[in-house]
Structure 1
Amino acid sequence: MERVRTPAPEVALTSKRIGQIDDQRESSDLLTADRLLDPRQIARPEPEGLFQQLVYSVSRQRINLGDGRRARERKELDRRISTPLSGGARFVPVLSRKGGVGKTTVTSLLGMALADARDDRIIAVDANPDRGTLADRVGRSNGRTVRDLVRAHDEMAGYNDVSSIVARDATRLDVLASDSDPRVSEAFSDDDYRQVADVAAHYYSIVLTDTGTGIVHSVMGATLELADTLVIVAGLSVDEARLASETLTWLETNGYGSRVRDAVVVLNNSRPGAPLVRENELEAHFRSRVRTVIRMPYDPRIAAGSAIVFRDLQPATRQAARELAAAVVEGLRAPVGAA
Structure 2
Amino acid sequence: MTPKNTPDPHEDDAMGVLVDAASVATTGIGILGGTAQVSVVMPREQDDDLADEEVIDGEVDEAVVADIVLEDAVAVAVAAPIPVAVDEAIAEPEPVLEPTVASAPAPVKEAAPVESPKKSLAPRTAQPEVTLASKRLGDLSGTHRESADLLTTDRLLDPHRVTKPEPEGAWSHLLYSVSGRRINIGDGRRARERKALSARIAAPLPGGARFVPVLSRKGGVGKTAITALLGMALADARDDRVIAIDANPDRGTLADRIVRPQHTKSVRDLVRIHDQVTGYHDISAVVARDATRLDVLASDADPRIAEAFGDTDYRDVADLAAHYYSLVLTDTGTGIVHPVMAATLDVADRIVIVSGLSVDEARLASETLTWLETNGFEDLAHDAIVVLNHSTPGTPLVRVNELEAHFASRVRSVVQMPYDAQIAAGGVMVFANLQPETRLAARRLAALLVEGLRAEASA
**Structure 2 length-normalised TM:** 0.66
CA contact (8 A) 2:250 2:308 kept: no
User: Which amino acid is the alignment partner of residue 181 of structure 1?
Assistant: D
**Counterpart residue identity of residue 260, structure 2:** R
Structure with higher helix content:
1
Distance 2:444 2:156 in 1: 38
Aligned residue in 1 for 2:169:
49
Q: Is the 8 A contact 1:153 1:199 kept in 2?
A: yes
Summarize the Cα distance change of 1:41–1:203 in structure 2 as closer, same or farther, 3 Å threshold: closer
Query: In 1, distance between residues paired with 2:196 and 2:331?
Result: 28
Q: Are 2:206 and 2:457, in contact at CA under 8 Å, matched by a contact in 1?
A: no
Contact 1:104–1:210 (8 Å) recurs in 2:
yes
User: Is the Cα contact below 8 Å between 1:259 and 1:336 reproduced in 2?
Assistant: no
The structure whose Rg is larger is: 2
CA distance in 2 between counterparts of 1:325 and 1:137 reads 18
Whether 1:94 and 2:214 are equivalent positions in the alignment is: yes
Aligned partner of 2:225 among 105, 109, 114? 105
Once the two structures are TM-superposed, the CA of residue 261 in structure 1 deviates from its matched residue by: 1.4
The answer as to 2:327 corresponding to 1:198 is: no
Residue 20 of structure 1 is matched in structure 2 by none
- Equivalent residues, number: 320
Does the alignment pair 1:312 with 2:433? yes
1:273 deviates by 1.0
| Aligned match for 1:156, one of 258, 267, 277 | 277
Of 240, 251, 258, 2:372 maps to: 251
Q: Which has the higher contact order (CA 8 A, sep 6+)?
A: 1
- Superposed, 1:76-225 pairs within 5 Å as 76-141=196-261, 142-181=263-302, 184=305, 186-225=307-346
C-alpha spacing 1:244/1:264, structure 2 compared with 1 (3 Å): same
**2:355 equivalent in structure 1:** 234
Q: Give the gaps of 5 or more residues in structure 1.
A: 16-31
- In the TM superposition, what is the alpha-carbon distance from 1:185 to its structure 2 partner? 6.5
Offset, 1:132? 0.4
The one-letter amino acid of 1:154's match is: D
Name the amino acid aligned to 1:168.
R
Superposition pairs of residues 26-41 of structure 1, within 5 angstroms: 39-41=159-161
| One-letter amino acid of the structure 2 residue matched with residue 269 of structure 1 | H
Give the whole-Å Cα distance in 1 for the aligned partners of 2:156 and 2:385.
45
Shift of 1:117: 0.8
Please give the alpha-carbon distance, in whole angstroms, between the structure 1 residues aligned to 2:368 and 2:153: 52
- CA distance in structure 2 between the partners assigned to 1:182 and 1:212 by the alignment: 18
- How much is the aligned-residue C-alpha RMSD, in angstroms? 2.5
Q: Alpha-carbon deviation of 1:179? A: 1.0
Quote the Cα distance in structure 1 between the aligned partners of 2:154 and 2:368.
51
1:73 is matched with which residue: 182, 185, 193? 193
Distance across 1 between alignment mates of 2:185 and 2:408: 38
Cα pair 1:264 1:294 within 8 Å, conserved: yes
Deviation at 1:61, TM superposition (A): 2.3
Q: After TM superposition, give the deviation of residue 6 of structure 1 in Å.
A: 8.9
Identity rate, percent: 70
> Are residues 275 and 207 of structure 1, via their aligned partners in 2, closer, same or farther at CA, if it must alter by over 3 Å?
same
Question: Taking structure 1 as reference, are residues 36 and 200 closer, same or farther at Cα in structure 2, changes over 3 Å only?
Answer: closer
Equivalent of 2:396 in 275, 278, 281: 275
**Kindly tell me: are residues 122 and 58 of structure 1, through their superposed partners in 2, closer, same or farther at Cα, counting changes over 3 Å?**
same
Rounded Cα–Cα distance in structure 1 between residues aligned with 2:155 and 2:269: 57
Letter in 1 for 2:238: R
Report how far residue 170 of structure 1 moved.
1.0
What does residue 263 of structure 1 align with? 384
Report the equivalent of 1:27: none
Q: TM-score, normalised by structure 1?
A: 0.88
1:231–1:336 CA distance, 2 compared to 1 (3 A): farther
Query: What do the CA deviations read for 1:238-280 (whole angstroms, capped 9, x no partner)?
Result: 0000000000010011111111111110000111111111111
Secondary structure, aligned partner of 2:239: coil
1:40–1:251: structure 2 CA closer, same or farther, 3 Å change rule?
Answer: closer
Cα distance in 2 for partners of 1:256, 1:243 equals: 17
Question: How many angstroms does 1:200 deviate by?
Answer: 0.6
Partner of 1:22 in structure 2?
none
Superposed CA deviations along residues 116-151 of structure 1, whole A, max 9, x for unmatched, are: 111111100000011000011013341111111111
